[in-house]
């Protein structure tokens, strides 16, 4: 059950990173804040891999692993941009909840693409937790701004696709333990993402590049948190199907709501508390199923 500890560490770090990115959006724009997690995260990932490779040589990635990593990398860039747009329009906690419809996407795509069917009990646990997400979002669905809700759900779907890409890359690496494989895929992924974002901003939005440089202290912190969180996500993906990891990660919704109340003074309504209870029940069910001997 190492994947459980890795997922909880990743979810905690990601909540802090999302808060840092949300604060940067006003200063550097949506694309600039999207680039921060990749451009400032890559040096941390590269240095960590270099340090570990002294004792544990990393596996050599083939074209299959690089292809899967590229799919995950590009989907994650798009997902992060939609996430920040949703945060700007609907608030930090609500945006996080909407994105966390992701496990449903993961369960479906994982079964088809990676041949990892989860079975009725796990699917039911994912469904229960996802219902909790819908309630915890706090959106007034009858009069919701559907364009903004759509960007949140689309962000979740793209994060799901990115997780499938990362899981595929990790499975394509046949040498080494799960930690060195996770570090290798992380360095490849962040390198691709940093190159793409720097090229795009250099051609289309140099003002955002200057703004990122001016906010380098906040950007460095967001990048470090992003690399740290991603490493533990990848460790989880290396050990169990991505849908298991992302369903357990729904505890992040509870963290985000608490953080919203403390930092952004957003109120939590009773229906949201019910939703958070369903999330925790679904996660507990998933863990109970996962702990059964196969």
Give average pLDDT by consecutive 10-residue segment, the chain, 294 residues.
89 77 74 84 94 90 94 89 72 62 72 72 82 70 62 83 92 91 96 93 87 85 89 93 81 67 59 80 79 60
Which pTM value belongs to this model?
A: 0.80
Q: What is the pLDDT of residue 128?
A: 86
Buried b (16+ CB within 10 A) or exposed e, 174-203: eebebbbbbbbbbbbbbbbbbebbbeebee
- pLDDT score, position 155: 85
Position 285 scores a pLDDT of: 81
Distance of CA 45 to the CA centre of its chain: 16
pLDDT on residue 263? 46
């Amino acid at each position: 059950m190492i994947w459980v500890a890795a997922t909880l560490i990743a979810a905690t770090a990601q909540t802090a990173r999302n808060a840092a990115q949300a604060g940067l959006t006003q200063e550097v724009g949506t694309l600039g804040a999207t680039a921060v997690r990749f451009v400032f995260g890559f040096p941390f990932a590269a240095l960590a891999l270099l340090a570990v490779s002294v004792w544990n040589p990393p596996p050599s990635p083939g074209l299959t692993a690089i292809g899967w990593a590229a799919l995950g990398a590009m989907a994650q860039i798009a997902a992060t941009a939609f996430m920040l747009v949703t945060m700007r329009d609907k608030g930090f906690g609500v945006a996080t909840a909407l994105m966390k419809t992701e496990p449903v996407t993961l369960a479906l795509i994982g079964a088809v693409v990676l041949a990892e069917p989860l079975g009725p009990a796990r699917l039911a646990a994912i469904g229960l937790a996802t219902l909790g997400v819908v309630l915890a979002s706090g959106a007034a669905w009858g009069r919701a701004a559907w364009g903004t809700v759509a960007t949140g759900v689309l962000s979740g779907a793209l994060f799901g696709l990115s997780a499938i890409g990362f899981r595929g890359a990790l499975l394509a690496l046949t040498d080494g333990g799960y930690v060195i494989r996770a570090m290798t895929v992380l360095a490849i992924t962040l390198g691709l993402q940093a190159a793409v974002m720097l090229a795009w901003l250099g051609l289309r939005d140099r003002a955002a590049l200057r703004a990122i440089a001016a906010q380098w202290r906040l950007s460095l912190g967001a990048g470090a948190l992003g690399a740290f969180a991603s490493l533990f996500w990848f460790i989880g993906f290396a050990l169990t199907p991505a849908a298991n990891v992302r369903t357990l990660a729904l505890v992040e919704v509870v963290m985000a709501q608490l953080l919203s109340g403390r930092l952004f003074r957003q109120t939590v309504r009773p229906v949201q508390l019910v939703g958070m209870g369903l999330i925790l029940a679904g996660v507990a069910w998933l863990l109970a199923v996962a702990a059964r001997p196969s």
